[in-house]
């Protein structure tokens, strides 16, 4: 009986240590998303149908890979708010028009990964809002004419 009580007490400590932090970070991710998460489009660009691929996407380069003749480019940054296990970060994508560096739109998302009981399984994760990567941002900025 003593062993069972000791096991339950140890399990409770492990549960409180790991899951409380994970839940707290999930609430923080949700709070930060409510503040500035999501996609903001400052200018919509109408392009001819031939500029879009079979999936309705336009290909634009990352800023470091821009060549002469590229009309648009994007930048991205990831800021780690917490490193280790668990981790929490903020992702930010920005799209610009090349010839005048006009800021066309941006997307911001937050994520948490880890904070679980150690084991051979994959870590849990939580992110918000949905659909804020560069693909989703381009879909909202670039529309078919």
32-53 tens-digit pLDDT: 999 999 999 999 999 999 999 9
Q: Which residue has better confidence, 58 or 15? A: 58
Instruction: Quote the CA–CA distance of 113 and 70 in Å, as a whole number.
Output: 36
Q: Which contacts (CB < 8 Å, 24+ apart) does range 125-131 have? A: 126/25, 126/26, 126/29, 127/29, 128/29, 128/30, 128/33, 128/37, 129/33, 129/37, 129/38, 131/39
**Whole-number mean pLDDT of the chain?**
91
pLDDT band at residue 5 under the 50/70/90 scheme: low
pTM score of the predicted model: 0.82
Least reliable range by pLDDT among 17-26, 30-39, 94-103: 17-26
Q: What is the pLDDT of residue 92?
A: 98
Q: What is the 3-state secondary structure (H, E, C) of 12-72?
A: HHHHHHHHHHHHHHHHHHHHHHHHHCEEEECCCEEECHHHCCCCCCCCCCEHHHCCCCCCE
d(CA 92, CA 56): 23
Q: Is the pLDDT of residue 19 over 90?
A: no
| pLDDT value at 129 more than 70 | yes
Which pairing describes strands 125-128 and 38-41: parallel, antiparallel, or unpaired? unpaired
Contact residues for 114 (Cβ-Cβ < 8 A; gap 6+):
22, 84, 85, 86, 87, 123, 124, 125
pLDDT value at 4 more than 80: no
Residue 8 pLDDT greater than 70, yes or no: no
In this prediction, residue 2 carries a pLDDT of: 77
Report the share of the chain in percent with pLDDT over 70: 90
- Banded pLDDT at 15 (limits 50, 70, 90): low
């Amino acid at each position: 009986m003593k062993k069972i009580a000791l096991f339950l007490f140890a399990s409770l400590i492990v549960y409180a240590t790991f899951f409380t932090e994970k839940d707290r970070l999930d609430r923080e991710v949700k709070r930060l998303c409510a503040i500035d998460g999501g996609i903001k489009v400052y200018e919509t660009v109408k392009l001819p149908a031939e500029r879009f691929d079979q999936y309705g996407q336009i290909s634009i380069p990352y800023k470091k890979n821009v060549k002469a003749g590229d009309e648009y480019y994007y930048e991205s940054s990831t800021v780690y708010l917490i490193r280790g296990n668990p981790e929490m970060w903020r992702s930010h994508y920005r799209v610009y028009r090349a010839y005048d560096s006009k800021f066309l739109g941006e997307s911001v998302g937050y994520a948490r990964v880890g904070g679980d009981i150690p084991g051979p399984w994959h870590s849990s994760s939580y992110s918000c809002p949905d659909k804020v990567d560069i693909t989703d941002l381009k879909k909202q900025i670039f529309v078919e004419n």
